[in-house]
Structure 1
Amino acid sequence: MTLYYSLVFALLVFEMVVFMTLIIPLPFKIKRSLFTFISESPIIAKLQYGLKITFIFILILFIDSVNRVYRVQLELSQAKFQGGAAAGVAGSERMEVQARKFYSQRNMYLCGFTLFLSLILNRTYVMILDVLRLEQEVKTLRGESPQNDKNASKLGEAGELGEIGRLKKELAEKDRDLETMKKQSQGLSNEYNKLGDQMTQQDGSNKKAR
């Protein structure tokens, strides 16, 4: 096994360990603290970004391995119809092709399962965050949540990936809209006062004329 496929295998084992960690039943407070740390840690965020880039290279390896399996399968199909007097040579070549087929299929399955498990991990992580958030809301509605729990206020911030950034962006947009409305209101108020002064002056001039 080459170095990059060995790294892919190591990543597959790491994903299996992470998946087992996610599905292990833990007390609510411990699991909430764990997922809050994962959601807020900048180190975990950088690790997730690096893994996304790594999965792109694994996808390229997966496509290459599928192509190799297809080409080896064509060679085997051609070898079945080959004839001639050199049966021993043909047999040794066929064994070589079979070995290459085995290695190509192994690499294809290795990369494929690694990519598939990454999708499962992402979906499982998001679902567990939703379950924890809903459990926290239920406990809050029932009055079972202690007021001095420091992690209680952080659970809602965990949410889905990117939820905090999206909410901050929406809040900034609303603040800009509010400032714009304040400026427009101030402008309308100034115009109203100006028109009121003009009407007062006109009324005074009409009274003098009479």
Structure 2
Amino acid sequence: MTLYYSLVFLLLVTEMVIFLALIIPLPFTWRRKLFHFISESPIIAKLQYGMKITFIFILILFIDSVNRVYRVQVELAAFTKSERGGATVMGGSERMEVQARKFYSQRNMYLCGFTLFLSLILNRTYVMILDVLRLEEEVKSLKGDPAVKGKSIKNAGGIGEVASLKEELAAKDRDMENLKKQVESMQKEYNRMGDEVSGSKSTPRKGQ
């Protein structure tokens, strides 16, 4: 197995572990804290962005593996047709080589396909769990349960969505502060130039 397919396999195993971690029954307080951390952590948001790019490359590998499977199937069909027509029978080593290429191409196709499919399942499972937690919070708050005091889980969104929104808001605040400083510096320069002009006008000319 080549390096990139080994990395895809490692990602598939990681997705399986994450999926098991999501469906493990935990107390309400623990699950609430865990999903608050996932939705608000900037590290998780950056990982999510990187995973989106990774899945694009996996999709390319999946399309390439499907193409390879198709070409091997066409090659096998051509050999089978030539054998039935009385042509030269393909040697055992050649047949084994083609069968091996067929096996590897199908393995890569299934590996990439299951990795992409499990990523969709993970995203959907995460959103459904957030919906369930939000509804549980609403029910407990209506019953007056003190365990739901503090932050509440809002509408379900992507992993790290809250953190990414906070980063955007912080960036806009920094831009606003820089703009205020520029306006203040321009105002000071304008007042200085105004003072110079008014001072030059008030100074009497020589000979008057």
What TM-score do you get using the length of structure 1 for normalisation?
A: 0.72
CA distance in 1, matches of 2:155, 2:38: 9
CA RMSD of aligned residues (A): 2.3
Map of 1:155 onto structure 2: 152
| 1:95-116 deviation line (CA, Å, top 9, x unaligned) | 1111000000000000000000
Q: Structure 2: which amino acid aligns with 1:155?
A: S
1:92, distance to aligned residue in structure 2 (A): 1.8
| 1:76-102 deviation line (CA, Å, top 9, x unaligned) | 001112247864x53321111110000
Map of 2:125 onto structure 1: 124
CA distance in 2, matches of 1:32, 1:128: 10
Gapped regions of structure 1 (runs ≥ 5): 170-210
Map of 2:189 onto structure 1: none
Higher RCO by CA contacts (8 Å cutoff, separation 6 or greater)? 2
SS at match of 1:82: helix
CA distance in 2, matches of 1:37, 1:49: 17
The equivalences for 1:137-148 within 5 A come to 137-146=138-147
Q: 1:85 to 1:72 in 2, by over 3 A?
A: closer
1:144, distance to aligned residue in structure 2 (A): 1.4
CA distance in 1, matches of 2:39, 2:87: 68
Q: Paired residues, what number?
A: 164
Q: Structure 2: which amino acid aligns with 1:55?
A: F
The equivalences for 1:165-204 within 5 A come to 165=165
The equivalences for 1:91-110 within 5 A come to 91-110=92-111
SS at match of 2:91: helix
1:156, distance to aligned residue in structure 2 (A): 2.6
| 1:120-176 deviation line (CA, Å, top 9, x unaligned) | 000000110110011001000011134xx6xx432334732347849x99xxxxxxx
CA distance in 2, matches of 1:85, 1:159: 63
Q: Percentage identity across aligned positions?
A: 72
- 1:36–1:158 Cα contact (<8 Å) kept: no
CA distance in 2, matches of 1:142, 1:66: 54
SS at match of 2:151: helix
- 1:5–1:107 Cα contact (<8 Å) kept: yes
| 1:60-88 deviation line (CA, Å, top 9, x unaligned) | 0000000000000000001112247864x
- 1:40–1:158 Cα contact (<8 Å) kept: no
CA distance in 2, matches of 1:120, 1:32: 21
Map of 1:23 onto structure 2: 23
Q: Structure 1: which amino acid aligns with 2:28?
A: F
CA distance in 2, matches of 1:97, 1:154: 60
CA distance in 1, matches of 2:11, 2:137: 33
